[in-house]
Chains A and B, each alone.
Chain A
Amino acid sequence: MSAHQLAFLVLGVLILVSALMVVTVRNLVHAALFLILCFAGVAGLYVLLQAEFLAVAQVLIYIGAITVLILFGIMLTRKITGGAQPPLASHWKAAGAGAGAFLLLLLYVAMTGQWQVSDQPPMDSTTTLGLALVTRYVLPFELASVVLLAALVGAVLLARDETR
């Protein structure tokens, strides 16, 4: 087993275990902290996949912005931070069975693909990504700014206190 494969194995286990904790743990703050761990593991996978820029963006946006916002959300909506959560919804068995079937289907689909490991030379992915963003995909790139503007307007509006 090469170092590369070992790293993948460790990261994969880290991601899946922390994701499992997010969906099962009762304490909200703990869930958010496990979420950070999971995001960090995903950033590691990006490095293994030679997507260094995305790994950095993942750390900055997901860990730096999104989880922090979620932590703020937890603090603002609970009187005692980190109180225990109510149990699972009553239909958890049915939901679990359905999700299990869904997972088997997804795994089957993944297995059927013809996945030769590509032997292309590793590309300079940051340069390629940057070029693609301002040439072929300049339109979705610009549209993302509209998404952000609309979200900003909406979020400020809803979060603003009525008695400003």
Chain B
Amino acid sequence: MTTTWRELGYLTPELVVLLGAAAVLLLDLFLPRGRRRVLGGVALVPLGVALGWVLRALWAQSGGPSQLHKVFGALLLRDPYSLGFDVVFLVAAILGVLLSLRYVEREALPAGEYYALTLFAVFGMMMMAMSAELITLFISYEILSLAVYVLAGIARGRAVSAEASLKYFLLGAFASGFLVYGIALVYGATGTTVLYDPLGQSASTISGLILERGLFGNALLLAGLALLVVGIAFKAAIVPFHAWVPDVYEGAPLPVTAFMSAGVKAAAFAAFARLLFGGFRNLGEVWQPVLWVLAVLTMVLGNAAAIRQQNVKRMLAYSSIAHAGYLLVALAAYTARDVAIGSVLYYALTYTAMGVGAFAILLVVGQEGEANQELSDYRGLASRHPWAAAAMGLFMISLAGFPLTAGFLGKFYILNAALRADLDGLAVVLGLASVVSWYYYLRVVWFMYMTEVPKAAVRPISRATSLGVAVAVAALLVIALGVFPSTALAVAQMAGHTLLPLGY
């Protein structure tokens, strides 16, 4: 079992991001304090390079036969599925860094550590999406978690940020205790930690052994799976493991919240889908009802809580729970196979664009700080700042799932998967939940376009170029994914196909 240079080459984007983190840390030492703002720009370089590599690799495979490489034995899989999720993480990170450039400077956050930890977190996400083995998955999960705990509390001057960090940390460490216990029990039941072998060469994997030894009703294995689900559901902010979400999302610095709500959630779902579809697909009849219940709870409670919020940041935090519920619907529709996985990937990318875009507008309206996040601050925004209002309107109707936006197609494909899997009830709940969400998303649009505000109360908005670029990129993505979905969708479908083992 030797790892060749060629194999390491498959890890190029991950290694680039990791080296980028090291470079940012080193540069931070040598730059005088006044020059540290360039570190954000430095952090964008590895992210951009990695994104370019990933897109090229995906492009090379679209249309042709898809490629799948095992790296480090079978610990990692470089397949279109992991490449697809890498796109999501890198887009979230690039937008997150763009959102941070002015914020970090203004709030006098430690730039070197901030960007280095962001890059570490992205590295952890990318490794999570590739992991096909539970020990590797756990370590990657911890890289991501530790970096994000610190990022949540990085605004040391603000008490809420420190408290957000503490709450996230304690509950996160608690959840990772369940995760490792789950891994231990699964290992105890099967004697291996390798999830599956997509090429069907080895039978001594969890999925292979479940079949071979008929472990369908094995209590140890089922208990292990349940604990694993708890650990990941926590990271993905699934009800009832969501108690940390509102306070942490509200307390963390805004750009970090934007990055977390898109990236961390996508990483959790990337690992979740590989775990369930790869390792435990033969137990689908056992975990599908559980996901069904979790999906309904998450959609209903997420929307019910979001509807009551007057603060836009809190509203987006709660509604992100609801979006996790929509993704769960796709996972529950496992009998739709590659359609289900493809819709998870597509929706993750869509949510990243529209969710981070909406958070970017919060920064624009709040003048790059944590102020002005009440709904009333959006009063008459359209007449004062038509472009900002138009972009916010776009993100809102996309989040609400209106036609011609990415959000609509994302939900459409999830519904499609649910109907193919004969989950009609779940599809109905999803539809109703979306209708409810129209209320609180459109309320923002109403405030921007249909209300007026006296001239004296007009507040300026931020005109920072970096924020403008972030908003423009997010808006373009939302429109492009909504109007020309075919390429992205074909790639997502192919990615879904390669996640599944041969002959399934």
Contact = CB atoms under 8 A, between A and B. Distances in A.
Nearest to B217: A112
Interface in A111-157: 112-113, 135-140, 143-144, 146-147, 149-151, 153-155, 157
A106 interface: yes
B223 A150 contact: no
Contacts of A147: 139, 142-143, 146
A109 interface: yes
B76 interface: yes
Contact of A157 (B120, B142, B150): B150
A137 B133 CA distance: 10
B136 A143 contact: yes
A113 B139 contact: no
Given A113-B188, A140-B136, A153 B143 contact: no
Given A143-B127, A150-B120, A136 B143 contact: no
A105 interface: yes
A127 B75 CA distance: 22
B154 A157 contact: yes
Interface in B3-25: 3, 18, 25
A115 to B, nearest CB: 9
Secondary structure dominating the interface of A: helix
Given A154-B146, A154-B150, A139 B136 contact: yes
What 9 A-B pairs come out closest when comparing CB atoms? A154-B150, A139-B72, A150-B120, A143-B139, A112-B219, A109-B223, A157-B113, A109-B219, A140-B139
Given A139-B76, A153-B116, 13 more contacts: A109-B220, A135-B1, A136-B73, A137-B75, A138-B72, A143-B136, A143-B139, A143-B143, A146-B143, A150-B143, A150-B150, A153-B25, A153-B113
29 contacts: A109-B185, A109-B219, A112-B218, A136-B1, A136-B73, A139-B72, A140-B75, A143-B136, A143-B143, A146-B123, A147-B142, A147-B143, A149-B120, A150-B120, A150-B150, A151-B146, A153-B116, A153-B117, A153-B120, A153-B150, A154-B113, A154-B149, A157-B113, A157-B150, A157-B154, A158-B150, A158-B153, A162-B156, A162-B157
Interface of B: 1, 3, 18, 25, 72-73, 75-76, 110, 113, 116-117, 120, 123-124, 127, 135-136, 139-140, 142-143, 146-147, 149-150, 153-154, 156-157, 165, 185, 188-189, 218-220, 223
